[in-house]
Amino acid sequence: MFKRLMTVALMLGVGTYIYAGDSTRQISEESEVFVGVELGAVLIQGDTDGTILGEKNHDGSGVSVGLRLGAQNAMWRSMVLFDYFNSDDDDQTYERAMVQVDYYIMAANFSTTAFRPYIGVNGGYVNYETTGKPDINGFTYGGQVGFTAAVSDNIDFDVAYRHAFAGPDELDHIGNVVFGVNYLY
């Protein structure tokens, strides 16, 4: 499942870049506000102290969905996002609210193109649930790397890998391959 989602996201990203490659879009020095949605392939690892079928580390995978609101300019992007993951197969669920700040790498080289790579940091709060444990809440932090591809003046596609560590001992880390669509206004 994870490999299929990753392959689809990569194909969509490359296809978007090829489609948008001929059009040059002047990246604004002014801030642009955006709202968006995201779909991600999740790998999650919880430390359950052996309460689930004797497993100390409880690995899981599945699909997450999210909403985002942010602003960007030629060099930086920041957003607030909420994502949700529920895997009945692995009996793991989380809700996460985060702030993400990204820096566009080599922004001068990509100032008039549809393709812009970035690297960034994230931090926020997570609520994690699994069998045999009460709701677990705590801080989460990490980083991401990815790229945006503009398909029009108002639509950006976003492909990224986001990795986050969690403060609660029962949740070790969450890794996401994320595909997002942003509407700039």
3-state secondary structure of 110: coil
Residue 20: per-residue pLDDT: 41
Which CATH number belongs to the domain containing residue 115 in this structure? 2.40.160.20
Are the C-beta atoms of residues 154 and 126 closer than 8 Å to each other? Answer: no
Query: Which is higher by pLDDT, 168 or 141?
Result: 141
3-state secondary structure of 53: coil
- pLDDT mean over 128-152: 87
- pLDDT mean over 22-47: 77
User: What's the pLDDT band for 173 if we cut at 50, 70, 90?
Assistant: confident
3-state secondary structure of 47: strand
Are the C-beta atoms of residues 150 and 25 closer than 8 Å to each other? Answer: yes
Please name the helix (run of DSSP H) or strand (run of DSSP E) that holds residue 70, with its range, or none.
strand 55-72
- pLDDT mean over 160-175: 86
Query: Which is higher by pLDDT, 85 or 16?
Result: 85
Domain that holds residue 77: 2-184
Q: How many domains does the chain have?
A: 1
- Give the residues across from 43 on adjacent strands: 61, 175
Number of CB atoms found within 10 A of residue 158's CB? 24
How many whole angstroms separate alpha carbon 121 and alpha carbon 101? 6
